A and B are shown apart, each in its own frame.
Chain A
Amino acid sequence: MQEMAVQGPAEAVETDAIIRAEKIEKYYSQPSENRIQVIAPTDLSIVPGEIVALLGPSGSGKSTMLRMLTGLSRPSAGKVYWHEKPIDNTEINVSIVFQSFALFPWMTVLENVEAPLKARGITPDERHERSMKMLDTVGLDGFEAAYPKELSGGMRQRVGFARALVVEPEVLFMDEPFSALDVLTAENLRSELLELWGKKTMPTRSVFIVTHNIEEAVLLADRIIVLGRNPGHIRTDFRVQIPQPRDRKAEPFTQLVDYIYKVLTRPDVAPTEAPDHQHPSPRPRDQRQMRYQMLPHARPGGIAGLLELLLDKGGRDDIYRLADDLAFEIDDLLPTVDAAQLLAFLKVDEGDASITEAGSEYANSEILRQKELFRDAALEHVLLLRQIRRALESKSDHTVPEEFFLDMLDEQFSDDESRLQMETAINWGRYAELFDFDAARRRFVMPDALEEEIAPSGEAE
């Protein structure tokens, strides 16, 4: 820490890395000779002057990665270096801020903060002085004699920060530090962290944060690493060029969130380039200005049927003729056509419906694949579904009341129409397995399989 060097933040060269992981992987051997690969061989460096965010669904080994980088867990193969020396027999200086705070409930706030200094053999007087100063920095003066259980969650995490920072770590690791807190408290702590970092009040040279919250990553990080699953691997690793302080509503911000969101929801597609924010894309997508589309009240099964019929007819036909063939009134058919059009499965020009590439893929696929295609299309093109899904992901309990979205729809539609819109959205979302809807409680809930994917990582990792 004495070498609080003023290096150029982003341009640090690989060899300057504080921590460098070389082909680290993790697997568990089983008695039957085969092994379960948890993390594929991965290279990763932490260089001075940056906040790195590690994003990924659970099961991608975010926490395991953090523990290997801190020396708490030994890679099954590969090596981790601390300033180019093997991490397992070098004196390193890192701290971890834990999701559960991991404070010792039988010790006072002050004793908790002093404990790491005690472990380093620092004299009682100096211990006291440094701890009190740190408590002051995180806004806890006056609380030194309290026990953690007397404090609120936010206050407790402040103690966690004080304990982490009091040893003046070179790298500060954080493992989902804000996900056990309520939204406002988390927001508050995030901005204070940025303030400490920005003003260089802490001697820390690098911050490494593991999170499942996309917006949090975009808000804090200079560099974002997205992990994929089965086994854990780096899908994309890019720098965030948006200057601090960042505005959640600004276009580059939402665009980046959208981009990461797409990467995460399409595990099978190779990520495209991150959007370059110096040149805003032609299609702005500010959610607040964007109005909800009117969802046509069609059933997903109907859409599939229509597309299959269209495909039989060579991929292009007159809508009226279609209705005729089906013995449908045109008003009955139109919602389905509109829906297919909304999802970009077909194009309509001058009364002719022509199937798109996505549409024919959809029509030709088997049921599970159809659902996937539908999910991707729905997320891309239907604002309401995207919002519901994102709300579910950002809530710690992964449920949101229907009321919340009805209120927003009400600003644009009549009461009855809002309900119909909601009904259709629920129908589509359930079909695409974007969410489940608990009719008894009128709440959206994350479906089980997906909940595992995005839920805050438990101790399984």
Chain B
Amino acid sequence: MNLPVLARARVTVRTWPFVIDVGVAVCALAVFFAFVSTGEYWIGKPVPVVPISHSIGALPAYAFYSLVRIFIAYLMSLTFAVAYGYTAAYNPRIEAWMIAVLDILQSIPVLSFLPPVVLAMVALIPGHQIGVEMGVVLLIFTGQVWNLAFSFYSSLKAIPREMIEASRIYRYSAWQRFWQLEMPYATIGLVWNSIVSVAGGWFALMACEMFTMGTRNFQLPGLGSYLQTAANSGDVRALIAGFTLVILIVVATDQLVWRPLIAWSDKFKFEQVESSDRVTSPILTLLHRSRLFSELPGELWARVEEPIYRRLARAKENRVVHALDDGGSRNAASPALWTVAVVLLTVVGWGALQAMLMLRTVTWPEFRLLLEGAGATFLRVNASLLISALWTIPVGVTIGFNPKLARFIQPLAQILASVPATAFFPILLIGLVKIGGGLGIGSIALMLLGTQWYILFNVIAGAMSIPSDLREVASLYHFPRLQRWTQVILPGIFPYLITGMVTASGGAWNASVFAEYSRMPDRTLETVGLGAQISAATDAGRFPILLLATIFISLMVVTMNRLVWRRLYRLAETRYKLEG
């Protein structure tokens, strides 16, 4: 780079980046210490019930533990999502299966995973705290991973054909293709889905750090446990402090992680012309100015990758052009693959059989109760969606048509969507108990808490995307209000509305498990519903009921997706797409 402007700029800002570099170094030291102390705690003897202090002074430590869990779970999710998506996209033989599995897994509420996952981890790593910890981390993982995997898979599938052909004809190795084509192409989708995922992770964490399973109690140090114990003992001061901290963390994550990432990912936009409105992030600008961050990673990376490229170029595999229309999987499957498939099939078959046998213990009245619960929860979920849509559409459109307001509100909605609804629950529950209301209606309010923000966020985005000439046409020809809504606004926001509703619907089902049942020290609040039955079954260790209820939820979600959402999605993609 011999551009004089760039050189001068670097000299004048020299002192500032140096401060940042020092700051970065200090941060690195702190991270190192954090690793060491977390490690000590994890390797220690298992303590299923860690006493939770109510003092505000203990909060930072709890927040730290929770953050570490989320972070590890997120890294696992990302790795898994990339591996899963990659395998599914490039193995036509198993592609349909893998996607169907993903579809079913994502319909299962997080809490249904709790008993099997925790029991398995405790059994696998006995004698260490890390066993219990891994169980909880895995639960958070199940709350984060599925949409990431979907996102990566569909990005791979959407890469324009000529780009793939270019990478083939220039004999890119799989390694180069991954870093220069596939990963960049998937980045934007991964960033946006990460925001949703991490919010889902917090949601799960709030409920999973402290739970009862049959006769065993688990309580891990963390924000979720802190909020629950504070609520149980009615310590409002501690509750507010904990809640404030949750919001602070969410806002900080938004500002320090997501905004810079969104701004950075702008360069991966697959567009022909540069768009004018770009997200900016002061943090990213700072990082760009810091020499440590703007140059060092690139240089280090080059050292790592140059030898790899040289070695790969020598491989016979990478010296020929591979035809696109014969994937490696078309070849006859190797015996090893068959063995794996047979073993897998046997294990799955045996497991399914055992589960079926277990289901036989469910009595007829229990079954009827489950059916009733399914109906109730179904109505509740859709009621919460309807209420969300009813208020967010007019509000969102009003905000979206006012660019100044939208610029301020939309990031706020994004943050609100990231605040785990489960953190609100204890507070709301206290309120409900005070006014003597039951959970029947209260649970709808609880579901609303988590779901409405996604719809609001998307409706605002949709309203902003309606071209101003369409709106001008409406006012020029004096469209009456009804016509304006039915012919301009609703069709215009339709694709966005559907995106928001799909996300919200998934969240509402997940929330039903927490919202319909709450165990207080002195009493248990619950209402008729599948979610309540899942929670109660977990508490009581009634696995057949848990399994059956989970199957019900999964069936309903998958059916809804197939019959309703997928169709609406297709409609949104074809008829209501506004092309720039």
Contact = CB atoms under 8 A, between A and B. Distances in A.
Interface of A: 67, 70-74, 87-92, 94-96, 98-100, 102, 104-107, 115-116, 118-124, 145, 147, 149-150, 163, 167, 459
A143 to B, nearest CB: 13
B411 to A, nearest CB: 25
B309 A89 contact: no
B309 A104 contact: no
Contacts of A95: 169-170
B326 interface: yes
B314 A121 contact: yes
A121 B313 contact: yes
A71 B320 contact: yes
Interface of B: 1, 3, 160-163, 165-166, 168-173, 176, 180-181, 184, 267-274, 302, 306, 309-314, 318-326
A121 B310 contact: yes
A396 to B, nearest CB: 15
A99 B325 contact: no
**Residue among B162, B310, B314 with most chain A CB within 10 A:** B162
Nearest to B268: A106
B321 A150 contact: no
25 contacts: A67-B324, A70-B321, A72-B169, A73-B325, A74-B325, A74-B326, A90-B320, A91-B319, A92-B321, A95-B170, A96-B166, A96-B169, A104-B180, A106-B268, A107-B180, A115-B172, A115-B176, A116-B171, A118-B309, A119-B170, A123-B310, A145-B1, A145-B3, A149-B271, A149-B272
B87 to A, nearest CB: 23
A147 B267 contact: yes
Given A96-B165, A104-B180, A118-B176, A72 B171 contact: no
Contacts of A87: 321
A124 B302 CA distance: 9
Given A92-B321, A119-B313, A67 B180 contact: no
Contacts of B270: 105
Given A72-B321, A91-B320, A100-B160, A149 B170 contact: no
B185 to A, nearest CB: 8
A100 B165 CA distance: 12
Contacts of A100: 160, 162
Contacts of A96: 165-166, 169
B155 to A, nearest CB: 13
Contact of B165 (A72, A118, A167): A72
Contacts of B310: 121, 123
A94 B170 CA distance: 8
B321 A124 contact: no
A62 to B, nearest CB: 15
Contacts of B274: 149-150
B24 to A, nearest CB: 25
Contacts of B163: 102, 104
A1 B516 CA distance: 73
Contacts of B165: 67, 72, 96, 98, 102
Given A72-B323, A118-B309, A124-B302, A98 B176 contact: no
A102 B181 CA distance: 11
A72 B312 contact: no
A260 B270 CA distance: 38
Contact of B166 (A74, A91, A92, A102): A102
Contacts of B321: 70-72, 87-88, 92, 94
A82 B506 CA distance: 54
Given A98-B166, A105-B268, A145-B1, 18 more contacts: A67-B324, A71-B320, A71-B321, A71-B323, A72-B168, A72-B169, A72-B321, A72-B323, A89-B320, A104-B181, A106-B184, A106-B268, A115-B180, A119-B313, A121-B310, A124-B306, A147-B267, A149-B272
Nearest to A459: B161
A150 B323 CA distance: 32
A169 to B, nearest CB: 9
A149 B268 CA distance: 11
B403 to A, nearest CB: 24
B309 A94 contact: no
A120 B165 CA distance: 17
B302 A119 contact: no
Contacts of B271: 105, 149
Contact of B323 (A73, A91, A121, A459): A73
Contacts of B161: 459
B29 to A, nearest CB: 33
A71 B325 CA distance: 10
A438 B556 CA distance: 50
Contacts of A107: 180
A296 to B, nearest CB: 45
B5 to A, nearest CB: 12
Given A90-B320, A104-B184, A105-B270, A121 B1 contact: no
Contacts of A459: 161
Contacts of A67: 165, 324
Nearest to A96: B169
A247 to B, nearest CB: 34
Contacts of B306: 123-124
Contacts of B176: 115, 118-119
A98 B302 CA distance: 29
A88 B323 contact: yes
Nearest to B175: A119
